[in-house]
Chains A and B, each alone.
Chain A
């Protein structure tokens, strides 16, 4: 079971490697990856430094080039792929047909992983990506329950990686344009969701308001904890009732399901959070490393101590965790 960890900066990468990540995934400093946030990600020099550090510790480095280029921007995506190949990245995480095709043709030795942004929820789709681009691994979107994941794993022509911990995208990744509907920028086109440039906070008589491109996302009364106005996490009116119509702020945590994921043949677990701090990476990777090691040392006696949950709980968004779609009632 491979532990795949996020890094949005060199200190985060160092933390992940030091805490025992088997692989770390990064993105370059532009819209070629799905975490295109200001101040985040790796320029050329930092990427080389990251690669050197990972290599010297026996950790793999994956590069995410997982947004969808439009013709006018293709040169940036091509340069990113060329750069990842020049770095000798251990894998390229990609979603777009054209990115996969270019990489497969030009760099046949560079392993390709289908990004969660590729939105492949079933093994027939995986067969297409395997046949056309020779992908070796796929990251499953967070829309399947455990039984369905097992079914995909049983028939998939490639290894599977699943999300294990982190912020929960309520929508099927790669199939959500809500952000561009409100702001013109989406994960697919720009690697952005509810981008900060469109956020406005305002104290009013009715409470503290958060807006995204002027649309009221939420309004907080005194004492209520205000969260970033990610559009799917706002409180809206439906049939006159005000509530989190799509999702409440919460995180995914599957640490208790580790044995089950292993039994059904999952080859890698992924920690979400390239946008999070080095401290987050350090704490989450530390706990997951211990969990996997303990599980592998004695598969029949795997237990999750309270202190792990408390560490993970503290860094979770909304300070609560769920099993998300892996558990049916959530759906």
Chain B
């Protein structure tokens, strides 16, 4: 496959922005060369600035600009109300759904609806991917901690066990979603219990940086989610992605400069030479510690 065949996707917004900021953001996105857009809340069920109807309205707007829409579901379900919402999304969504928990896989399989398997589903091998394919998975997002070499092996193994291999999407830009907890670290930073968090994560539209005592970025707090300290950036590796057979390149929303990031990746897929974000990492893709950054010039 050639890099120009790569599709650019905008992942679900992992942060908590106001309703107005969210609408404004996606209006800008409508003008960018992104091919598909994931909408919906995937991190915390207490973030209720937008209702399902609002997401559908945003989806219609983007659809009118030629974007393909996918609705994403919550990653960690703990209350009955979370399940209720997921059931509603699975039943009512006008678009395909990204399942971020096995609960959604179960519901969608029962409804006989095809789905995208999200990055938190722990698909580490081709047998598992084939199993998901039989349950209705048409596209999968590889777990962020896996490498180029793992991907090659997974796709090869999947071909032996499945009639069709789902399309592959790779998380390629943004702070990496690395962990989920029962605890809200943002509320905890403000010395508040989660039940009375007062939506403090709204104060941090791109997360709350965690630095080592030597001031180097280590992680980023985003409510119950912990992210990488610096963004992952595979913009210099698109040739690699295309060669292995990746179809979709996921860019993760940031409050500022998102159209520029999309334009940079669009240029890269058209064959232009681009430079990764100055402070970024690419270790996972190269089979190393995720935080590492290996310059393209040093890769043999």
Contact = CB atoms under 8 A, between A and B. Distances in A.
Interface of B is mostly: mixed
Given A71-B157, A242-B213, A176 B80 contact: no
B103 A122 contact: yes
B154 A246 contact: no
B101 A176 contact: no
A70 B208 CA distance: 33
A277 interface: no
B291 interface: yes
B193 A184 contact: no
B48 interface: no
B131 interface: yes
A238 B131 contact: no
Interface string A226-240: 000000001111110
Interface in A122-168: 122-125, 127-129, 131-132, 142-145, 148, 151
A101 interface: yes
A19 interface: no
A98 B144 CA distance: 19
B116 interface: no
B290 A181 contact: yes
B219 A178 contact: yes
For this complex, into which size category does the number of interface residues on chain A fall?
35 or more
B131 A216 contact: no
A71 B153 contact: yes
Contacts of B181: 143, 170-172, 246
Interface stretch (A37-45, A82-90, A281-289, A323-331): A323-331
Interface centre among B86, B226, B284 (most CB of A within 10 A): B226
B153 A331 contact: no
A262 interface: no
B274 interface: no
A122 B82 contact: yes
B184 interface: yes
Interface in B201-216: 208-216
For this complex, into which size category does the number of interface residues on chain B fall?
35 or more
A186 B218 CA distance: 16
Nearest to B209: A238
A95 interface: yes
A72 interface: yes
Contact of A148 (B78, B104, B216): B78
B184 A172 contact: no
B218 A215 contact: yes
B124 A181 contact: no
Nearest to A69: B125
B148 to A, nearest CB: 12
30 contacts: A69-B124, A70-B146, A71-B125, A71-B153, A95-B122, A96-B122, A96-B124, A97-B123, A101-B131, A124-B77, A124-B102, A124-B107, A128-B109, A143-B181, A145-B78, A171-B180, A171-B181, A174-B122, A176-B178, A176-B180, A181-B228, A188-B124, A188-B143, A189-B124, A189-B145, A216-B214, A237-B213, A241-B189, A246-B181, A247-B183
Of all A-B residue pairs in the complex, the 7 with the closest CB atoms, nearest first, are A124-B103, A98-B127, A143-B182, A128-B106, A68-B124, A181-B290, A97-B128
Given A124-B86, A124-B107, 15 more contacts: A68-B124, A98-B131, A101-B131, A102-B127, A122-B82, A123-B83, A143-B181, A144-B182, A170-B183, A176-B178, A177-B143, A181-B176, A216-B214, A237-B211, A328-B194
